[in-house]
Amino acid sequence: MRRAGLAGLGSVAVLWLLALASLLGLWSQRLAAPGVPGPGFPREAAGSRLGNLRRAAVAPGESRRRLGLASQAAQKTFRALLTLPGQPPEPPDAASESGQEPPPALPRRQRPAAELPASPVRGGIFWSRALEAQVPPGFSAEETASWLRAARAARVVSLERGGCGRSSNRLARLSDGSRACVRYGINPEQIQGEALSYHLAELLGIQERLPPLALSRVEARGGQWAPVREELRGSHWAEGAVVSLARWVDNLTDVVAPALWRAEAGRRLQTLAAGELRGLGPAQLVELVQWSDLILFDYLTANFDRLVSNLFSLQWDPRVMHRATSNLLRAPNGGLVFLDNEAGLVHGYRLLAMWDQYNEPLLRSVCLFREATAQRVRELHRLRNAAAELRRLYRTREPLAETLGFLSDQQAQLLQDRVDLVHKHILHCKAKAASL
């Protein structure tokens, strides 16, 4: 009996030793594989960011290198948001001053990119200079002057219907090979309004967004219009009428209003302010820079034939803000083109009582501006010379300015009043941003 008892005790001891050895073996395996997740943590897929960071704990030196790269990537997240579509994030020391696309011969990964700030807004209400540098160029001053000289000297060799708005308008082919949209107003104030709006855009520093425009007197018996005498007979244009010639631009596409202005009937427009930009991509931000200029321009000219006409149509078409915006198109480089501004100033001022109920909410919906535009408005407000400066530019740039005449005294005062109101609105936005 004693021998059997000792044997039993020996067996128990052996079992305890075996169990202890197993536990030690499991524990050593656990120490050898620190990246293995414990119960309740899902395994990361191979190559995942979280899994890579955990595996980095094996080698301290490698960990520091990888975590350094991850930190750089995190710091560039918002900067990458502001680069043009299709551009990969660039190293900080590869910045270029212009922010424009580099020559295509450079490898993609070596292309210089503008150093953009962490925010697309500065001073609470102004678009950053780096973001403005990403806005596609419009019609340069040199390009515009060259086209205007050629268009005024060229002869009209053919007139075609379609492509230029109203049925009374024509697409003209000029003797230098270029084309122009010829607009014949239902009454002279429409052509006057288009010409004055074009030169007001120069006064505001945004003329590059409008196609070059010149005036011409229709005279079938000679000069510029002689080659299309027969076509003129079928156009029903009055002899001696003044028409506008606007440069034709190929491959333009429709533009739908940004989501901020896609109002629904009975609802207020959302305000374009710094706090509303989170999550927007670079192309959206670049477009909003141009829209902010457009809405100020349309308010100053009281132009009702663009976004305002869409707002008006909401009463019977709830989806109208999801459709193309009138007289606004996009060039192949992504820049917006402000077309057909004949409803501005003269015609628009005559109908203020009808349309300002839409134009004023649009103005109040913008609290971000290009600083250069705001400075022009501030100077016109300070000097109280908006109409005088517009008259000076108009007479200097347009040989037929005296034929169509200028704004009446009442219209000139309306222009100054609207400049003053825009300036007051900019100050309101600045005060509001400072209080946040």
259-290 tens-digit pLDDT: 888 866 556 788 899 998 988 999 999 999 99
Residue that has been written with the tokens 């425009």 in this structure? 213
From residue 425, alpha-carbon distances to 262, 281, 303 in Å are: 22, 27, 19
Q: Which of 207, 204, 208, 209 is nearest to 372 (CA)?
A: 204
Look at residue 264 in the predicted model and tell me its pLDDT.
Answer: 64
The answer to whether the CB of 376 falls within 8 A of the CB of 296 is: no
**Nearest of 158, 134, 42 to residue 334 by alpha carbon:** 134
Enclosing H/E stretch for 60? helix 60-75
Residue 296 is given by DSSP the state H
- Asked if 345 contacts 415 with a C-beta cutoff of 8 angstroms, the reply is yes
The pTM of the full predicted model, rounded to 2 decimals, is 0.73
List the chain residues with pLDDT less than 70: 1-118, 263-267
Q: What is the DSSP letter of 213?
A: E
| Contact between residue 404 and residue 188 where contact means Cβ atoms under 8 Å apart | yes
Q: Which sequence spans correspond to the domains of the chain?
A: 141-247, 253-435
314-346 confidence digits (pLDDT tens): 888 888 889 999 999 999 999 999 999 999 999
Say which amino acid occupies 225.
W
Q: Which residues of 213-229 are buried (b: 16+ CB within 10 A; e: fewer)?
A: bbbbebebeeebbeebe
Rounded Cα gap, residues 140 and 27, in angstroms: 74
Pairing of strands 324-330, 253-256: antiparallel
Picking from 369, 122, 368, 338, the residue whose alpha carbon sits closest to that of residue 249 is 338
Instruction: Indicate the length of the chain as a whole number.
Output: 436
Please state which CATH class domain 141-247 belongs to. alpha beta
Confidence (pLDDT) at 236:
84
Q: What is the pLDDT of residue 118?
A: 67
Give the residue from 123, 132, 124, 71 showing the smallest Cα distance to 100: 132
- DSSP letters for 118-166: S-SEETTTEE-HHHHTTSPP---HHHHHHHHHHHHHSPEEEEE-SSSSS
Q: Which two tokens stand for residue 89?
A: 């994030």
C-beta separation of 182 from 164 below 8 A: yes
Instruction: Report the alpha-carbon distance of residue 9 to residue 187 in Å, rounded.
Output: 118
| Dist CA 365 CA 356 (whole Å) | 14
Q: Which residues of 37-63 are buried (b: 16+ CB within 10 A; e: fewer)?
A: eeeeeeebeeeeeeeeebebeeeeeee
| Token code pair at residue 250 | 């190929």
pLDDT, mean over the chain: 78
129, 132, 134, 137: CA torsion to nearest 10: -130
Helix (H, G, I), strand (E, B) or coil at 113: strand
pLDDT of residue 429: 97
